[in-house]
């Protein structure tokens, strides 16, 4: 089985822990906001939002951050508002 296929199979839960090869370290992604039980995001909370933007000021995708869809929407909205009032940059 190729490495890519293995990673895919693992993320879908098809492979057990024992079958995981030693050189692939797959860490389970989780939504940080779900862990904190965040229900709403404040656009004025720049520090928190800064964790979800890249060095260049782009919003980090769910694929990388591991956020759930619900929180990703909240983040995107908060960042947009925050950019509008110049708390976060559009670009760096």
* Sequential DSSP letters for 40-60: ---TT-HHHHHTTB-TTSPBP
Instruction: Tally the residues of the chain.
Output: 92
CB of 17 closer than 8 Å to CB of 34:
no
Verify binding: residue 52, Zn ion, rule CB under 5 A: no
Nearer to Zn ion, 4 or 63 (CB): 63
Answer for the pair 26, 20: CB distance below 8 angstroms, yes or no. Answer: yes
- C-beta of 21 vs 61, nearer to Zn ion: 61
* 71 binds Zn ion, rule: CB under 5 A: yes
31 lines the binding site for Zn ion (CB under 5 A): yes
User: Is residue 79 a contact residue for Zn ion (CB under 5 A)?
Assistant: no
Nearest to 28, CA basis, from 3, 51, 7: 7
Q: Does 76 bind Zn ion (CB under 5 A)?
A: no
Nearer to Zn ion, 15 or 31 (CB): 31
**Contact residues for Zn ion, defined by CB under 5 A:** 31, 33-34, 68, 71
């Amino acid at each position: 089985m190729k490495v890519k296929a293995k990673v895919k199979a693992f993320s879908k839960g098809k492979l057990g822990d024992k079958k995981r090869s030693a050189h692939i370290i797959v860490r389970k992604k989780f939504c940080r906001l779900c862990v904190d039980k965040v229900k709403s995001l404040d656009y004025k909370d720049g520090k928190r939002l800064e964790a979800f933007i890249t060095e260049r000021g782009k919003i980090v995708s769910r694929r990388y951050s591991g956020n759930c869809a619900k929180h990703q929407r909240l983040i995107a909205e908060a960042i947009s508002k925050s950019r509008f009032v110049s708390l976060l940059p559009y670009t760096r």
